[in-house]
Structure 1
Amino acid sequence: MKSKIWILFVILACLSCCCLIMLQPIGNNLVVQDEVQKTDLIAAVSGPEYRILYASELYMKGLVNTVFFTVGFSEKNNRIEASWSKYVVETHGVLGRQLRLMKTQP
Protein backbone atom coordinates (compact mmCIF):
# COMPACT_ATOMS: atom_id res chain seq x y z
CA MET A 1 0.00 0.00 0.00
CA LYS A 2 2.82 2.39 0.89
CA SER A 3 4.58 1.70 -2.40
CA LYS A 4 1.41 2.64 -4.36
CA ILE A 5 1.15 5.93 -2.47
CA TRP A 6 4.84 6.59 -3.07
CA ILE A 7 4.47 5.90 -6.82
CA LEU A 8 1.41 8.18 -6.97
CA PHE A 9 3.37 10.91 -5.17
CA VAL A 10 6.29 10.61 -7.61
CA ILE A 11 3.94 10.75 -10.61
CA LEU A 12 2.17 13.84 -9.23
CA ALA A 13 5.52 15.51 -8.48
CA CYS A 14 6.73 14.85 -12.04
CA LEU A 15 3.49 16.18 -13.53
CA SER A 16 3.73 19.29 -11.34
CA CYS A 17 7.30 19.93 -12.48
CA CYS A 18 6.30 19.49 -16.13
CA CYS A 19 3.43 21.96 -15.68
CA LEU A 20 5.72 24.52 -14.04
CA ILE A 21 8.30 24.15 -16.79
CA MET A 22 5.62 24.70 -19.46
CA LEU A 23 4.16 27.86 -17.86
CA GLN A 24 6.95 30.16 -19.11
CA PRO A 25 6.66 29.21 -22.82
CA ILE A 26 2.87 29.33 -22.63
CA GLY A 27 3.01 32.79 -21.02
CA ASN A 28 5.46 34.02 -23.65
CA ASN A 29 3.03 33.04 -26.40
CA LEU A 30 0.17 34.89 -24.71
CA VAL A 31 2.01 38.22 -24.45
CA VAL A 32 1.96 40.48 -27.50
CA GLN A 33 5.36 42.06 -27.99
CA ASP A 34 4.75 44.53 -30.81
CA GLU A 35 6.97 47.56 -31.15
CA VAL A 36 5.50 50.87 -30.00
CA GLN A 37 4.28 52.95 -32.96
CA LYS A 38 3.14 56.56 -33.28
CA THR A 39 -0.61 57.02 -32.83
CA ASP A 40 -3.17 59.81 -32.58
CA LEU A 41 -4.62 58.92 -29.18
CA ILE A 42 -3.78 56.80 -26.16
CA ALA A 43 -6.37 55.88 -23.54
CA ALA A 44 -4.99 55.71 -20.01
CA VAL A 45 -7.57 53.76 -18.02
CA SER A 46 -8.14 54.84 -14.41
CA GLY A 47 -6.07 52.88 -11.97
CA PRO A 48 -2.48 52.77 -10.75
CA GLU A 49 -0.28 55.81 -11.44
CA TYR A 50 2.16 53.87 -13.59
CA ARG A 51 -0.47 54.02 -16.35
CA ILE A 52 -0.54 57.81 -16.18
CA LEU A 53 3.24 58.07 -16.13
CA TYR A 54 3.60 55.70 -19.08
CA ALA A 55 1.06 57.72 -21.09
CA SER A 56 2.98 60.93 -20.39
CA GLU A 57 6.26 59.20 -21.27
CA LEU A 58 4.84 58.13 -24.65
CA TYR A 59 3.61 61.68 -25.25
CA MET A 60 6.98 63.20 -24.38
CA LYS A 61 8.68 60.78 -26.81
CA GLY A 62 6.38 62.09 -29.55
CA LEU A 63 4.59 58.77 -30.01
CA VAL A 64 1.09 60.07 -29.25
CA ASN A 65 -0.77 63.30 -30.06
CA THR A 66 -3.59 63.15 -27.50
CA VAL A 67 -3.93 61.50 -24.09
CA PHE A 68 -7.42 60.36 -23.03
CA PHE A 69 -8.35 59.57 -19.42
CA THR A 70 -11.35 57.62 -18.23
CA VAL A 71 -13.43 58.62 -15.23
CA GLY A 72 -13.06 56.75 -12.00
CA PHE A 73 -13.31 57.63 -8.33
CA SER A 74 -10.68 56.40 -5.91
CA GLU A 75 -12.21 55.84 -2.50
CA LYS A 76 -8.77 55.09 -1.12
CA ASN A 77 -7.44 58.51 -2.20
CA ASN A 78 -10.84 60.27 -2.13
CA ARG A 79 -10.39 61.84 -5.57
CA ILE A 80 -11.61 61.70 -9.14
CA GLU A 81 -8.93 59.82 -11.04
CA ALA A 82 -9.29 61.73 -14.32
CA SER A 83 -8.58 65.06 -12.62
CA TRP A 84 -5.59 63.60 -10.80
CA SER A 85 -4.33 62.02 -14.03
CA LYS A 86 -4.57 65.38 -15.78
CA TYR A 87 -2.59 67.05 -13.00
CA VAL A 88 0.12 64.37 -13.05
CA VAL A 89 0.69 64.43 -16.81
CA GLU A 90 0.69 68.23 -16.93
CA THR A 91 3.44 68.26 -14.31
CA HIS A 92 5.36 65.83 -16.53
CA GLY A 93 5.16 68.11 -19.56
CA VAL A 94 1.99 67.08 -21.41
CA LEU A 95 0.21 70.16 -22.73
CA GLY A 96 -3.33 70.69 -21.40
CA ARG A 97 -4.75 71.11 -24.90
CA GLN A 98 -3.57 67.60 -25.73
CA LEU A 99 -5.63 66.03 -22.93
CA ARG A 100 -9.15 64.64 -23.13
CA LEU A 101 -11.16 63.58 -20.09
CA MET A 102 -14.21 61.33 -20.18
CA LYS A 103 -17.03 63.57 -18.94
CA THR A 104 -19.27 61.02 -17.22
CA GLN A 105 -18.88 57.60 -15.77
CA PRO A 106 -20.36 54.90 -18.04
Structure 2
Amino acid sequence: MSETIRHIVRRAILELLADIGGRHNDAELKLLLQPMGHRVSGREIRADLQQLCDERLVALEAVGGYLIAEITEDGRDCAEGNLVAPGVYRHRVMR
Protein backbone atom coordinates (compact mmCIF):
# COMPACT_ATOMS: atom_id res chain seq x y z
CA MET A 1 0.00 0.00 0.00
CA SER A 2 1.35 3.44 -0.89
CA GLU A 3 2.55 5.80 1.80
CA THR A 4 -0.11 8.36 0.78
CA ILE A 5 -2.83 5.77 1.41
CA ARG A 6 -1.25 4.96 4.80
CA HIS A 7 -1.47 8.67 5.72
CA ILE A 8 -5.15 8.74 4.73
CA VAL A 9 -5.91 5.58 6.74
CA ARG A 10 -4.20 7.04 9.82
CA ARG A 11 -6.33 10.18 9.50
CA ALA A 12 -9.45 8.02 9.16
CA ILE A 13 -8.47 6.12 12.33
CA LEU A 14 -8.17 9.37 14.27
CA GLU A 15 -11.50 10.62 12.95
CA LEU A 16 -13.19 7.33 13.86
CA LEU A 17 -11.77 7.39 17.37
CA ALA A 18 -12.85 11.00 17.84
CA ASP A 19 -16.36 10.19 16.61
CA ILE A 20 -16.93 6.97 18.59
CA GLY A 21 -15.91 7.99 22.07
CA GLY A 22 -12.14 8.03 21.83
CA ARG A 23 -11.29 4.38 22.57
CA HIS A 24 -11.52 1.18 20.53
CA ASN A 25 -9.66 -2.00 19.65
CA ASP A 26 -7.71 -2.75 16.50
CA ALA A 27 -10.11 -5.43 15.23
CA GLU A 28 -13.17 -3.16 15.44
CA LEU A 29 -11.32 -0.24 13.87
CA LYS A 30 -10.37 -2.52 10.97
CA LEU A 31 -14.05 -3.42 10.48
CA LEU A 32 -15.18 0.21 10.73
CA LEU A 33 -12.66 1.28 8.07
CA GLN A 34 -13.96 -1.20 5.48
CA PRO A 35 -17.25 0.58 4.62
CA MET A 36 -15.16 3.72 4.08
CA GLY A 37 -13.22 1.90 1.36
CA HIS A 38 -10.11 1.24 3.45
CA ARG A 39 -9.31 -2.47 3.23
CA VAL A 40 -6.45 -2.99 5.66
CA SER A 41 -4.91 -6.09 7.19
CA GLY A 42 -4.59 -6.63 10.92
CA ARG A 43 -0.84 -6.12 10.55
CA GLU A 44 -1.35 -2.79 8.76
CA ILE A 45 -3.84 -1.44 11.31
CA ARG A 46 -1.50 -2.35 14.18
CA ALA A 47 1.41 -0.66 12.38
CA ASP A 48 -0.71 2.45 11.79
CA LEU A 49 -1.75 2.52 15.44
CA GLN A 50 1.91 2.22 16.47
CA GLN A 51 2.81 5.13 14.17
CA LEU A 52 0.02 7.21 15.71
CA CYS A 53 1.28 6.25 19.17
CA ASP A 54 4.84 7.26 18.23
CA GLU A 55 3.46 10.70 17.31
CA ARG A 56 1.54 10.77 20.63
CA LEU A 57 -1.81 10.96 18.84
CA VAL A 58 -3.09 7.77 20.50
CA ALA A 59 -2.15 5.77 23.58
CA LEU A 60 -1.99 1.99 23.16
CA GLU A 61 -2.69 -0.83 25.58
CA ALA A 62 -2.49 -4.56 24.86
CA VAL A 63 -5.48 -6.41 26.34
CA GLY A 64 -5.80 -10.11 25.58
CA GLY A 65 -5.22 -10.47 21.86
CA TYR A 66 -6.29 -6.89 21.10
CA LEU A 67 -4.56 -3.57 20.86
CA ILE A 68 -6.70 -0.87 22.48
CA ALA A 69 -6.21 2.65 21.09
CA GLU A 70 -7.27 5.74 23.00
CA ILE A 71 -7.10 9.10 21.28
CA THR A 72 -5.05 11.81 22.99
CA GLU A 73 -5.68 15.55 23.07
CA ASP A 74 -3.21 15.98 20.19
CA GLY A 75 -4.99 13.18 18.32
CA ARG A 76 -8.31 15.02 18.67
CA ASP A 77 -6.69 18.22 17.48
CA CYS A 78 -5.30 16.36 14.47
CA ALA A 79 -8.69 14.75 13.72
CA GLU A 80 -10.30 18.21 13.84
CA GLY A 81 -7.68 19.69 11.52
CA ASN A 82 -6.12 21.92 14.19
CA LEU A 83 -2.79 20.07 14.27
CA VAL A 84 -0.65 18.75 11.43
CA ALA A 85 1.24 15.56 12.32
CA PRO A 86 3.88 13.63 10.36
CA GLY A 87 2.48 10.55 8.64
CA VAL A 88 -1.15 11.70 8.90
CA TYR A 89 -3.17 13.09 5.99
CA ARG A 90 -3.87 16.77 6.49
CA HIS A 91 -7.52 16.98 5.35
CA ARG A 92 -10.69 15.29 6.64
CA VAL A 93 -11.44 11.96 5.03
CA MET A 94 -14.81 10.99 6.56
CA ARG A 95 -17.00 13.93 5.57
Query: TM exceeds 0.5?
Result: no
Higher Cα radius of gyration: 1
Q: Which has the higher contact order (CA 8 A, sep 6+)?
A: 2
Q: TM-score, normalised by structure 1?
A: 0.29
Q: TM-score, normalised by structure 2?
A: 0.31
